[in-house]
Amino acid sequence: MSTLFSHRAIKTVLLVFLLLLVSVSQSSQAYESNAGTLAIKLELKQQQGEYHPPYVAVWLENNDRKSVRTLLLWRKEPKWLKDIRRWWRNVGRKDAELVDAITSATHAAGSFPLSFKLTDDEQHALTEGDYTLYIEVVREKGGRALLKQKFSLNNQTQQFTLKETAETGEITFTVTPLGAKT
């Protein structure tokens, strides 16, 4: 400890680091606290026969069909990411860092209550306007489902139900803007 740096230098560095940490977390809190929430109850169906847990991506596109936020990515090997066709084409392949940041493990069939802040990929609150929620589910040696639902982000709470597909059960999602009128 004593050889390379003086105690004073270390203290200064630590102080700057702590200040940075505080300011970063404060700013992201500031962004997120301005945002409403998006709750999704995701249902992955039980399947017959050989079963590989599906790769799943859930994301939001704006009115120009540009992705503003990837909410969820459940996957294993990068080799099969391309099979989440639409998400990979429009989102994943264009942003390797996002893919790394958002990745989590796959899950077998079941019911998954999920909640997200209504922010973009940079944690800025989403502005009012029209969006589409996309859910893409792909199973090795199985099928694929692409579900989408348009919604307008305004001051109203809205609930949607997505019909069952071969890969998914009934999925509900609720958009709750900050300070929403119910």
Partner 1 sequence: MNFKKATLVMLALAVSSQVSAHSRWILPSHFTLSSERGEWVTLDATASNEVFNVDKALSIDPLSILTPSGKKSRPSSAYKAHRKSVADYFIEESGTYKITNNSTPSYFSTYKVGDKRHRARVNKMELKSLVPANATSLQTAYGLTRIESYITMNNPTENYAIDGKFLELLPKTHPSEVVENEPATFVFTYNGKVQSGVEVEITRDGARYRNNPETLTMKSNNKGEITFTPMHAGRYLLIAEHEQDAKNKTLADKEHGGVFLTFEVQLQ
What is the binding site for partner 1 (CB under 8 A)? 78-82, 85-86, 88-89, 92-94, 96, 144, 146
Beta carbon nearer to partner 1, 128 or 140: 140
Q: How far is the CB of 56 from partner 1 (least distance, A)?
A: 15
Beta carbon nearer to partner 1, 11 or 85: 85
Beta carbon nearer to partner 1, 32 or 83: 83
User: What's the rounded Cα separation, in Å, for the pair 151 and 180?
Assistant: 15
Q: How far is the CB of 141 from partner 1 (least distance, A)?
A: 17
* 34: Cβ contacts below 8 Å, ≥ 6 apart: 125, 178
Q: How far is the CB of 83 from partner 1 (least distance, A)?
A: 8
Three-class HEC string of the chain: CCCCCCHHHHHHHHHHHHHHHHHHHHHHHHHHHCCCEEEEEEEECCCCCCCCCCEEEEEEEECCCCEEEEEEEECCCHHHHHHCHHHHHHCHHHCHHHHHHHEECCCCCEEEEEEEECECCCCCECCCEEEEEEEEEECCCCCEEEEEEEEEECCECEEEEECCCCCECCEEEEEECCCCEC
Q: How far is the CB of 78 from partner 1 (least distance, A)?
A: 5
Q: How far is the CB of 84 from partner 1 (least distance, A)?
A: 9
150's tokens:
């348009």
Beta carbon nearer to partner 1, 126 or 167: 167
Beta carbon nearer to partner 1, 11 or 82: 82
